[in-house]
Structure 1
Amino acid sequence: MTTFAWGSARREVLAATQLNSIAPMLSNFFLAAYALINFSVFHASVSKSPGWRPAFKYYNAWVSLVGTLLCIAVMFLMSWWMALVTFFVVITLYLYVSYRKPDVNWGSSTQAHSYNSALKSLIELNRVELHVKNYRPQILALTGLPGDRPPLVDFANLITKGLSLLLCADIVKGNHSQRAHDALTRKAYHWFTKHRVKAFFTLTEGDFEPSARAFMQMCGLGKFRPNMLLMGYKSDWQTCDKEDLRQYFNIIHYALDRYLAVGILRLQEGLDYSKLIQDEEFVPISSIDKKAEEEKMRRNQSTGQLAQVEVVSEVPDSPFCSPLLEMDPEVITPEPLPESVVCGVKPSKSKKKNKNIPDMYLGPSGEPLSEVMWDQITRFRRKQDKGCIDVWWLYDDGGKAIVSRLTLLIPYILSTRSQFSGCKLRIFSLAHNKNELDKDQRNLAALLSKFRIDYSDVIVIPDIGKKATEETKKEFASLIENFRGDASDAANGKAVITKTELHTLREKTNRHLRIRELLLQYSVDSTFVVMALPIPRRGVVSAPLYLAWLELLTKGMPPYLILRGNQTSVLTFYS
């Protein structure tokens, strides 16, 4: 600011040789600089940052504030119009820097103030009992590294859209150093920044079930914690290890027991693209672990041993050097590839980012992806074709009608996004009585109106208890053929389906077979399908039978979300 003022003054003096004509401008810019310095000092003081430790014995934050106000007052007393010009220049420069967002970290007091504000807001939120009108789906998504399952991350982001919590979780097998964890975390946040996803990331080590349990128990702060678990459909349930199948099934149980909503997303082409696309930022975990182990050994050595090592190796390593300085920075955190390399396009002089760069993802060897695969990966980033979002708002059997209102809320949220702006909601429900279809349809339409949810059609299904066709029965039999077993196998903990289980759950199985036939009749050409997740009765239904039900409901269908609420009201009649 001061340099700019001196440069302008010098040019004015050389041109007009009249110093008095530019004196107000010089003085105003100097006063503006002093005012900003005083205010910065005051702001650093009120932010209560431990890093702000002024050395002046008689320093007082309020004196700095008074100095700021006095500088501004003198500016207007000297020349009010020049003071306005100075303010305009300062604000313009501030807005320009804010818009450009330079990749530097000044350690400004604004960061400390942001921390204080966030902490204060979280504490205040924890003191308030949340109301149903303020309900937001806060998602814990088991995505792995975000770059491995882009469609799952994009779908979760489509629901939250920066307006509620999205926490992506990764489970790493084996034991790794903290530096490896930090490198993977930086990689995830770099992916979020590049793809404009507003989310948090966490990871842990171990098997799937205990790690997922840990996420559900520990993630979040107070009221700012997930209330919904989102994961991908286990498409390899028929061929995977039986222990993996059991853990997947147990996680659904555990989430419902903790009053978390559960959502399972299925795309027919799958969600995992880790082996089909190029890793944008490779993290050599083994090298990082090796470096960390070497540093740990050096740190544990005595001073005498370290001196001997230095004499023998003649390497000027100092125990006081930062480990980050001693390690190869490319091993700790690889430098991001230039945008021209990652995207496969030449850098554009225009600063406006193109959202539809066709080579944002590349093949494993760096080759451009086919148009089909590109469309599959970016399914939830591009605008969907005009069609219907079918909502199968079904009652759960068990003696009373239990309906998950979250099964209505999530499709409504999707319909408000630009990607699904051309899609209408179509609601399917079950009839209470075959002879009262019109009444049930009117009641459901009235209920949706009270919820203020726009829909295009309401369809009431009258014959859900009808016997399924032989073709559907054969299809289901083929799914469970490899899991048939007897009671002794089940007693030994094997994942089998016994005759007793099939007989006990024959009505519920027939219900799912009928829903399968209705789905093929009504929803096979829809844009998106949302259905209530069947409740897995503990000790009643086995893991392979439950996954067979889900397979039958979702096989060969459009993008499909199976959803179960958390026994919490999420919709209200009142605005």
Structure 2
Amino acid sequence: MTEGEAKPQVEIVVVGATDSAHASPKSDDIPVVSTEVFADKAKQKQLKFTIDPAINEGSESGSSSVRELPIADLEKEPQFDHYRNALSIKRQIIPRRPSLKQLHGVEWDQDQESIPLPSQKVPIEAEKKKLGWIEGVLIRCVLNIIGVMLYLRISWVAAQAGLLLGSVVLLLSSAIVFLTALSMSAICTNGKIRGGGTYFIISRSLGPDFGGSIGIIFAVANAVSAAVYLAGFADTVLEVMKNHNAYIVDGGVNDIRIIGWITAVLLLAVVCAGLNFESKAQIVLLIVLIVSLLNYFAGLCMSPTTLQRAQGITGFNGTTLTDNSLPDWRGETFASVLAVYFPAATGFLAGANISGDLKEPEKAIPKGTIIGVTITSILYLAVLWLTGATCVRDASGLVEDLNNGMLSACAINQTCNYGLHNYYHILEIEGAWGPLITAGVFSSTLSSALASTVSAPKVLQAVARDRIFPYIGFFAKGSKKSDEPVRGYLLTFAITVGIIAIGDINQIAPLISNFFMASYALINYACFDASFAKSPGFRPAFKFYNMWLSLLGAFTCTVMMFFISWVNALITVIFIMLLYVYLTRRKPDVNWGDSTQANSFKNAVQNMLKLQTTQDHVKTYRPMILLLTGNPCKRKQMVNFVSNITRNQGMLICGQVLLAPLDDSTLQARQHFSQKIVWWLKKRHIRAFYYSYLANNLQEGVLALLQLCGMGKLSPNIMIMGFKNDWDTSDYAVIKEYFLLIHCGFDFNKGVGILRIPNSAKAPAEKETKAFMEIFNSERQQPNLLRTSADDRLDGRSSICTSQSVESFAVFAERLMPTDSERKRAKSTTERNNVFSVRTGQVVKRDIQDEKNKANADPRCHTASSSSSLSEASARSQFEIEVLDNEEKKKHAILSITKLRRKASMEKTSKVAVENFQKRIKKAVIDVWWLYDDGGLSILIPHLLSQEGYLENAKLRVFTIVKRSDVFDDEQSKLIILLNKLRIKFNKVNVYAEDRIQDNEETLRLFHELISKFKVPNKTVGQMEEPAASVLVDDVELATFRSTTERIMKARNLLLTHSKNANLIIVTIPVPRKKALSASLYLAWLELLSRDLPLTFLLRGNQEPVLTFYS
């Protein structure tokens, strides 16, 4: 190639990465992607660029070779199947997009590229033939809307309301139907529609409560409608037979029953033959209907015969048109005429009801329904005006009266037999050949009955498959070949036969019309609600709708229900509400992303924003509690007690700090565990949130929880933790850490509560918790995820687990069985760190236990770092998975479940319920020791507990201690007045003077016993390093806080004397002075106020008022 010659350019077309395997390109190859393209190249977005071949000179392949462009190894381009619901596709391999963890650095697992399912047969949905929008929707809509009303009642509407008001009746009905069709079209185009029709649309939009209610009603309404249509068909056949002097039995109701039953059997055979055969039958009926209507229009073009003129047929006549323009009410009103006509317009959902059998329901339903409604509305309006322009209102039918000009004279004494007012078969008289009109009547009734016979089982099958109602799962199964609801067909047949057997169904038909109207009202409301919620997930492809028009449609449908028959409307509403209440209480375990969820989110955000700009007021104060529970399942008593405070009156957040490194296994375990805790809280009917935080140490985690949990004004204002029973024997680092948590609460301006549950209440709760956890893990046959929670140390029932004695436990984790690599990794990690030993579900911390044994000689020699946090290896091993593969262990687990269930049942006594703070205690007593003015929290909490919960209607006894006896009487009267003004109901007020309370040698000895372990010589504390400097106490500090110590000891003497038998003791505690008060002295105070006493709640407000006596 010469220097001046233009270099050839290679055009590259990037069409996206493919899934096919290719060899890795060499470094000097031209980076070109695979030539695989989509079938429809016109739909591809192509990115063209050129590459100079000189770049590749010298390459083996040459400059024109084509190679694969390595766009990404793991990244996938947008694919249709990635957005498919894998659970809805049967027997297919569904490609799956790579997870964030895989893209973020975890090894690529080829097994995760797709969801392997048993076989690759074509799914049932693809095996059976689907219907297009004409055959599946348009024809069914037209056939179901065009019924006997067109043939037998449209002329009556013209006679009563006149052409003008009659047109208003028709247009008003069509407008309501058209609005509903628009709403339905919007919902149908907001995602893929499956089987179930109206039920599917409403349930996925408004949720299972409304959807399930209307699903059952709609299925019943369709089944009964089939009987109504068949009864109408049988009545018409019987009229024809009577005209020919023929009958079967008696020419009455028995003949109607026989004809109806025979027809029902024939329709059952048609639908059981398959939907394709039924569709062909519908086409035949449509042809008959079209021929019948063409016969009518042809008859209008003919000149009327003498007999027809005697029967009131005038042909197109301006005088007739003028006379029939205005209304001529004869025992009817506009409302009654509208009530008679409106049910004729309610068959437009026939196509939507077989949504599962349509090729593209999201396209077919809107197109077919709207076109069908438009065609039938025009047809009804045309027939109304044609009959009004060609037939008089009254005619005797006698040729002599016609010749004498007295044709309508019979109207005076109401003896006319013909005319729009008196004869319903006007279309038959005006048609070119009367029998064809009768055939049209047969066709319309049979097509409507056939559509109802198909719709009812389809809807019932969809409801049964969603499992929101019990005992109907039998009807969920379809036929093997085409998934037809044969069982539903048989049930519909039985209902139809039973209704026909009643004979007189005139009273049932209006109720069924109201059932349909309720469905249409909910469709409109579903569209409005989804639009009004402004959910990003509501993105209908159909744009010709408006949420306010949908709301108008819902309102008009509801009005029409009561307009037609308020009694039937009331029955319909009551029936729906009963089903709704049942489903609400049953709480079906489904999640369809309905508008109810969207509205909940929207309302929550709006209210949160409103609260954020609302200034706090003492009258609106509510306790919002951060409860440091660790694993809430292991602190059930603690959670139950605090939930009694916040029940319907505040907010409870269960907080847990997890000591673990930030890695993928930890995050996954945390996520699964959080889901299980939420489930556990829900099952126990505890209204609480759950927050967990990964941290290096306990204090860091609690600080994060205090700052981050909650949102806006819905953030905790009280922090509650468990009392550390073994503080006096713990390491200095652990004592300091616990003491600092109390300071953290006050630092963030929170009220602080410390709950001490006496030892007598521990055992039953421990047994129940252990049984619950073992059953939970064993029944699901899932591996236990073993880990340690840092704030298991904050136990309200037992001693706090330090890093020397870590209380490990099995965490619920909903997890698939691990792969071989996970098994090996778990095993090697366990062996390497020598951490866990699994024996009958218990986890023992070997290395930490060894350290504890070594430290017996000097239990306070550990440093802060070694005692307050775990090593990275130990923390990581807490989250490793131990898989129990041994079959014997599985059998043992099953036997253990049975034993545990029996044991749990035997231990479920009233005593356990009381100790778990669930069962109400009769004649309960709450003693409040209001030692310090903390803003009123110490008196508000017992008041809330006495309002509801296990201490409902408890007696409230208030105690306080004043400094001098000379103000004793005055302070007592003031306290009584204050409580009355605060509207706190109390049983007794006791005020004690501090200088009159006698000392107790036992209390003094206990204090010295507690403090002697931590007492050091003066001027040595300041020279010590942490954590000892924050824990130890000297004589100077004891002298500084001597008055407080004496007050605490005297309070203990009174507590032992007066509150030994109380069901709950609430004591106001002093605020610890930062940099002045040691941890050991403060914890000694708390020990004095709670040891050897019933359930004790040590509490201190943040000094902000929570009570006021002003209105």
Please indicate the TM-score interval, normalised by the length of the shorter structure: 0.7 to 0.9
Asked which structure has the greater RCO (Cα within 8 Å, sep 6+), the reply is 1
**Matched position secondary structure for 2:544:** coil
| Cα distance, 1:252–1:69 mapped onto 2, change above 3 Å | same
Would you say 1:92 and 2:578 are equivalent positions? yes
Q: Which amino acid aligns with 1:477?
A: H
Structure exhibiting the larger radius of gyration computed from Cα positions: 2
TM-superposed deviation, 1:570: 0.8
Q: Which amino acid aligns with 1:117?
A: N
Partner of 1:119: 605
| Cα distance, 1:235–1:78 mapped onto 2, change above 3 Å | same
TM-superposed deviation, 1:540: 1.4
Is 1:147–1:274's contact at 8 Å kept on the other side of the alignment?
Answer: no
For 2:621 and 2:1016, locate their aligned partners in 1 and report how far apart those are by CA, in whole Å: 45
**Could you list the per-position Cα deviations for residues 439-486 of structure 1 after superposition, in whole angstroms to 9, with x for gaps in the alignment?**
222122111111111222222211348673443222211112322234
TM-superposed deviation, 1:17: 5.8
TM-superposed deviation, 1:404: 4.0
Is 2:644–2:949's contact at 8 Å kept on the other side of the alignment?
Answer: no
Partner of 1:301: none
Aligned residue runs from structure 1 range 62-101, under 5 A: 62-101=548-587
Work out the number of aligned pairs and report it: 509
For 1:224 and 1:91, locate their aligned partners in 2 and report how far apart those are by CA, in whole Å: 34
Partner of 2:925: 388
For 1:144 and 1:478, locate their aligned partners in 2 and report how far apart those are by CA, in whole Å: 31
Q: 1:196 aligns with which of 685, 696, 701?
A: 685
**Matched position secondary structure for 1:519:** helix
Is 1:412–1:453's contact at 8 Å kept on the other side of the alignment?
Answer: yes
For 1:475 and 1:413, locate their aligned partners in 2 and report how far apart those are by CA, in whole Å: 34
Of 87-96 and 114-123, more deviation after overlay is shown by: 87-96
| Cα distance, 1:372–1:48 mapped onto 2, change above 3 Å | closer
**Could you list the per-position Cα deviations for residues 149-171 of structure 1 after superposition, in whole angstroms to 9, with x for gaps in the alignment?**
11111111110113211001112
Aligned residue runs from structure 1 range 263-412, under 5 A: 263-269=753-759, 277-280=770-773, 281-282=776-777, 284-285=784-785, 344=901, 362=904, 368-369=906-907, 374=912, 377-378=915-916, 380-384=917-921, 386-395=923-932, 402-412=933-943
| Cα distance, 1:554–1:79 mapped onto 2, change above 3 Å | closer
Partner of 2:1014: 483
Aligned residue runs from structure 1 range 387-536, under 5 A: 387-395=924-932, 402-421=933-952, 423-464=954-995, 468-486=999-1017, 487-488=1019-1020, 491-493=1024-1026, 494=1028, 495-536=1031-1072
Partner of 1:168: 654
Q: Which amino acid aligns with 1:277?
A: K
**Could you list the per-position Cα deviations for residues 394-447 of structure 1 after superposition, in whole angstroms to 9, with x for gaps in the alignment?**
14xxxxxx4441111111112222522453222212235322322222122111
TM-superposed deviation, 1:87: 2.8
TM-superposed deviation, 1:567: 1.6
Is 1:423–1:527's contact at 8 Å kept on the other side of the alignment?
Answer: no
Q: Which amino acid aligns with 1:344?
A: R
Q: 1:565 aligns with which of 1079, 1101, 1106?
A: 1101
Q: Which runs of 5+ in 1 are unaligned?
A: 296-326, 332-336, 346-358, 396-401
Q: Taking structure 1 as the reference length, what is the TM-score of the superposition?
A: 0.80
Q: 1:238 aligns with which of 721, 728, 731?
A: 728
**Percent of aligned pairs with the same residue?**
36
**Matched position secondary structure for 2:771:** coil
TM-superposed deviation, 1:182: 1.9
Q: Which amino acid aligns with 2:693?
A: T
Q: 1:42 aligns with which of 523, 528, 545?
A: 528
Q: Which runs of 5+ in 2 are unaligned?
A: 1-216, 228-495, 778-782, 787-812, 823-880, 886-893
Is 2:935–2:1107's contact at 8 Å kept on the other side of the alignment?
Answer: no
For 1:113 and 1:344, locate their aligned partners in 2 and report how far apart those are by CA, in whole Å: 41
Aligned residue runs from structure 1 range 196-215, under 5 A: 196-206=685-695, 207-215=697-705
For 1:451 and 1:31, locate their aligned partners in 2 and report how far apart those are by CA, in whole Å: 54
**Matched position secondary structure for 1:513:** helix
Q: 2:591 aligns with which of 85, 101, 105?
A: 105
For 1:191 and 1:466, locate their aligned partners in 2 and report how far apart those are by CA, in whole Å: 48
Is 1:529–1:560's contact at 8 Å kept on the other side of the alignment?
Answer: yes
For 1:294 and 1:389, locate their aligned partners in 2 and report how far apart those are by CA, in whole Å: 57
Is 1:385–1:527's contact at 8 Å kept on the other side of the alignment?
Answer: no
Aligned residue runs from structure 1 range 147-158, under 5 A: 147-158=633-644
| Cα distance, 1:28–1:535 mapped onto 2, change above 3 Å | closer
Q: 1:2 aligns with which of 191, 205, 218?
A: 218
For 2:506 and 2:648, locate their aligned partners in 1 and report how far apart those are by CA, in whole Å: 54
| Cα distance, 1:65–1:341 mapped onto 2, change above 3 Å | farther
For 1:371 and 1:5, locate their aligned partners in 2 and report how far apart those are by CA, in whole Å: 49
For 2:821 and 2:614, locate their aligned partners in 1 and report how far apart those are by CA, in whole Å: 49
**Could you list the per-position Cα deviations for residues 26-48 of structure 1 after superposition, in whole angstroms to 9, with x for gaps in the alignment?**
43333332222122112111111
Is 1:433–1:462's contact at 8 Å kept on the other side of the alignment?
Answer: yes
Is 2:947–2:953's contact at 8 Å kept on the other side of the alignment?
Answer: no
For 1:505 and 1:404, locate their aligned partners in 2 and report how far apart those are by CA, in whole Å: 23
**Matched position secondary structure for 2:743:** helix
For 1:372 and 1:113, locate their aligned partners in 2 and report how far apart those are by CA, in whole Å: 41
Is 1:45–1:52's contact at 8 Å kept on the other side of the alignment?
Answer: yes
Q: 1:30 aligns with which of 504, 516, 522?
A: 516
| Cα distance, 1:289–1:506 mapped onto 2, change above 3 Å | farther
Q: Which amino acid aligns with 1:536?
A: P
- Aligned-pair RMSD on alpha carbons? 3.2
Q: Which amino acid aligns with 1:550?
A: L
